[in-house]
Each structure stands twice: as C-alpha cells, then as structure tokens.
C-alpha cells in the first residue's frame, strides 16, 4: 500500500449497453481479474458465465424441497389414518392412497415453491440493506440504462490505476472508486 487513503471496496464502471458490459467483462477476465461482479437493470444472458461464476444449485434445492413436502404429507396422512387414529368411515380403506395423492401433489408444489422462493433469498443473501456499491454516486437502477461492472479490491491482481486504465479503454461512461 503506497498512500494512506480510504479503504477501497473496488472500482465500479458504468456502460451504456449490455453488449458493452459483456465485452468489458470478457476483457477484464482476460486481463486476469477474478473478483468481478456486474449490476444490471435486467438479466443479461451469459453474464455470470463471463464473470467466472458457476451454475447455481437452485434446481437441486427445489427438488429436495418438493420431495420433502410431498413425501411429508403422504407420510403424515398414512401415519394419522393407520397408526395414530384409525377411523372406519363407511368401511373405506384406511390407507386411501388415491385420496391422499391430492394433498400429496399440492404439498409437493408448495414445498418446492417455498424452497425456490426462499432459496433465492438465502442464496443471494437477501435482504441485505447495506452494500458498498450503494455508496457509489454513479450507481442507480433508476433509469435502467446503465450496466455496471465492479472489479473488487480483494482481487489478488487488483491495482487501482491498472483497473481504471483498463475500464477506460473499454469505453466506460463512468468510473468510480467504491468505498466499503
């Protein structure tokens, strides 16, 4: 560290279009930066892959949630009608699987949806009301026309001036240091 200054979180650059951002992400990766993140007003296809992220695990978790919901309610129905409180209603079978399938289906959907919904919160660490990127003056989702790329300061190859020079060469319309 040369000069004592405010600690940095990273450098944030704004781009005009998603295509510019994608190109910038690719070039930044090629230059060896790894602690990258991007902020966009709407999902940009293929961005996470260019940033070096891996596929998310949401489908697996959702499947597990659905299985717990479905098997859980079927198990509960079987337990309550055959073991806990067998009740002869007009001689109908106690383990009436055809009837049990309806709550079984509904609870599968419910379990899976709850997992997908809250899994998105947990995976994304939401709600997070404070984040350093909100400190940046240029950062705003208000207009929906700026696509941001962040080079994190925790990048082993992070060098403020080098990062800024690179972003400038990629036609960023705004470049700003982000403080934590």
Partner 1 sequence: MTDRVIAGHPSDREIVGRISSVPLRGRIPRYFWWVFLLFFVIALLFLFSIGWLLIEGIGTIGLEIPAAWGFMIVNTVWWIGIGHAGTLISAILVLLRQNWRNSINRFAEAMTLFAVGIAGLFPILHLGRPQYFYWLLPLPVTHMPWPNWRSPLVWDFFAIATYILVSLMFWYMGLVPDMAVLRDRAQTRGKQIVYGLLSLGWRGSAYHWSRFETSYLLVAALATPLVVSVHSVIALDFTSALIPGYHSTIFPPYFVAGALYSGFAMVFTIAVPLRQFFGFQAFITDRHLDNGAKVMLASGCFVAYGYISEAFFSWYSGDPFERYMMWNRAFGDYSWTFWVMLACNVGLLQFLWFKRVRTNPWLLFVLSLGINIGMWIERYVIVVVSLTRDFVPSMWRNVTPTWVDYSLLLGSLGMFFALMFLFLRVLPAITIFEVEELEHKVEEGKA
Report H helices in the chain. 18-30, 47-51, 58-78, 97-123, 160-169
Q: At closest approach, how far in Å is the CB of 40 from partner 1? A: 5
Peptide bond into 127 cis (omega under 30): yes
Site for partner 1, rule CB under 8 A = 18, 37-44, 47-48, 51, 53, 56, 58-59, 62, 66, 76-77, 80-81, 84-85, 87, 89, 92, 96, 99-100, 102-103, 105-107, 109-110, 112-114, 116-117, 119-121, 123-124, 126-131, 133-134, 140-145
Q: At closest approach, how far in Å is the CB of 46 from partner 1? A: 10
| Residue with Cβ nearer partner 1 (96 or 165) | 96
| Residue with Cβ nearer partner 1 (3 or 89) | 89
Give the dihedral of Cα atoms 113, 116, 118, 120; nearest 10 deg. -150
Alpha-carbon span 80 to 74, nearest angstrom: 10
Q: At closest approach, how far in Å is the CB of 110 from partner 1? A: 5
Q: At closest approach, how far in Å is the CB of 10 from partner 1? A: 13
Alpha-carbon span 174 to 33, nearest angstrom: 19
158 vs 34, 36, 175, 178, CA distance in Å? 9, 11, 15, 13
| Residue with Cβ nearer partner 1 (91 or 156) | 91
Exposed, middle or buried, 34 (CB in 10 Å: 0-12/13-18/19+)? middle
| Residue with Cβ nearer partner 1 (124 or 165) | 124
Q: At closest approach, how far in Å is the CB of 7 from partner 1? A: 20
| Residue with Cβ nearer partner 1 (4 or 43) | 43
């Amino acid at each position: 560290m040369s000069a004592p200054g405010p600690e940095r979180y990273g450098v944030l650059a704004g781009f005009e279009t998603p295509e510019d951002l994608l190109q910038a992400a690719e070039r930044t990766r090629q230059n060896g930066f790894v602690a990258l993140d991007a902020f966009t007003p709407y999902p940009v296809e293929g961005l996470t892959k260019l940033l070096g992220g891996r596929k998310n695990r949401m489908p697996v978790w959702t499947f597990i949630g659905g299985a717990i919901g479905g098997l859980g309610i079927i198990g509960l129905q079987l337990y309550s009608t055959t073991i806990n409180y067998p009740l002869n209603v007009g001689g109908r079978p106690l383990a009436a699987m055809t009837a049990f399938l309806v709550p079984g289906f509904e609870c599968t959907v419910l379990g899976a949806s709850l997992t997908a919904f809250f899994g998105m919160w947990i995976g994304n660490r939401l709600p997070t009301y404070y984040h350093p990127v909100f400190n940046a003056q240029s950062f705003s989702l208000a207009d929906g026309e700026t696509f941001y790329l962040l080079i994190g300061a925790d990048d082993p190859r992070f060098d403020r001036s080098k990062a800024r020079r690179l972003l400038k060469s990629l036609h960023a319309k705004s470049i700003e240091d982000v403080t934590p």
